[in-house]
């Protein structure tokens, strides 16, 4: 199929459409990276690709052994504003705004295009762009400025941007835990971000805990089980473990690819965490 498309001057088929991206697309991301890496990169060359498809492709490939390059994103340069500076069409689709993922790739590559994206986003005052502006500022401003904004936010909503800008999300959370934990919301958002980062190997998925994700359940269990972490951090992770629906009789759809041995192991670990932190 790809050979036929190549002869026609078309990019290789993605192998996965990502037309309605869900967190389930990320559960088997190693398979997608290994078998469909070229197809995922072809999403950037697809003129019909939505902002969400671009964002999820960025998130998956960010965890790839072969990092995304500025050249991979070059097909997006023409008309990029209309492609990615749009309102999120599906609130259930995973991934940070596509513009954020693009900017991080371009900053790593030292591409001048990064400056253009940052400047355009900073001037875009539309309400739905507020999160994108915050994340972009976190990637471009001095780290201490980013932290000061997070520390000054009484609701804790600026914590994710601070963690995006940190090379080690868990380390940054532990270093600033007392300040982060001044609000329950900030503490919850910080640990959820660390869970997602551990589950997927990238920050570009974002920090929302998905109750149907076996990968996120496993990551939450790892944090809750880690006796070297502060008790308060482990308690937040244990709360996420309690919220997970993986293994629940009414929510079997997330376990279709898990062996009975794996499900049994997750269940046993959940039981131990529940015994330590309460059901």
pLDDT by residue (tens digit) across 7-62?
Answer: 555 555 554 555 555 556 677 788 778 777 888 898 999 998 889 889 989 999 99
Read off the pLDDT band of 1 (50, 70, 90).
Answer: very low
Domain boundaries, the chain: 159-279
Residue 149 has pLDDT above 60, yes or no: yes
Model's pTM, two decimal places? 0.88
Q: What percent of the chain has pLDDT over 90?
A: 63
Residue 260 has pLDDT above 90, yes or no: no
Least confident of 61-75, 112-126, 226-240: 61-75
Query: pLDDT value at position 224?
Result: 98
Residue 81 has pLDDT above 90, yes or no: yes
Mean pLDDT of 249-261: 66
Mean pLDDT of 238-256: 77
Alpha carbon distance 211, 24 (integer Å): 11
Mean pLDDT of 110-126: 97
Residue 200 has pLDDT above 90, yes or no: yes
């Amino acid at each position: 199929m790809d050979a036929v498309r190549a002869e026609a001057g078309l990019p290789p088929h993605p192998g996965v459409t990502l037309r309605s991206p869900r967190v389930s697309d990320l559960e088997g991301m190693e398979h997608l990276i290994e078998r469909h890496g070229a197809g995922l990169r072809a999403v950037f060359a697809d003129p019909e690709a939505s902002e969400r498809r671009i964002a999820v492709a960025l998130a998956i490939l960010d965890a790839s052994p072969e990092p995304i390059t500025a050249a991979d994103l070059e097909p997006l340069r023409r008309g990029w504003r209309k492609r990615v500076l749009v309102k999120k069409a599906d609130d259930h689709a995973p991934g940070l705004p596509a513009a954020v993922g693009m900017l991080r790739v371009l900053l790593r590559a030292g591409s001048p295009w990064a400056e253009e994206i940052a400047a355009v986003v900073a001037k875009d005052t539309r309400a739905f762009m507020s999160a994108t502006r915050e994340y972009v500022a976190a990637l471009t401003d001095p780290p201490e400025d980013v932290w000061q904004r997070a520390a000054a936010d009484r609701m804790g909503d600026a914590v994710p941007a601070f963690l995006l800008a940190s090379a080690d999300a868990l380390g940054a959370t532990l270093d600033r835990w007392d300040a982060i934990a001044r609000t329950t919301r900030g503490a919850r958002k910080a640990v959820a971000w660390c869970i997602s980062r551990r589950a997927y190997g990238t920050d570009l998925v974002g920090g929302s805990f998905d109750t149907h994700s076996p990968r996120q359940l496993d990551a939450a269990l790892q944090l809750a089980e880690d006796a070297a972490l502060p008790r308060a951090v482990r308690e937040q992770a244990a709360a996420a473990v309690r919220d997970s629906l993986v293994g629940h009789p009414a929510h079997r759809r997330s376990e279709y690819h898990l062996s009975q041995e794996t499900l049994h192991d997750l269940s046993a670990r959940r039981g131990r965490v529940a015994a330590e932190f309460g059901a």
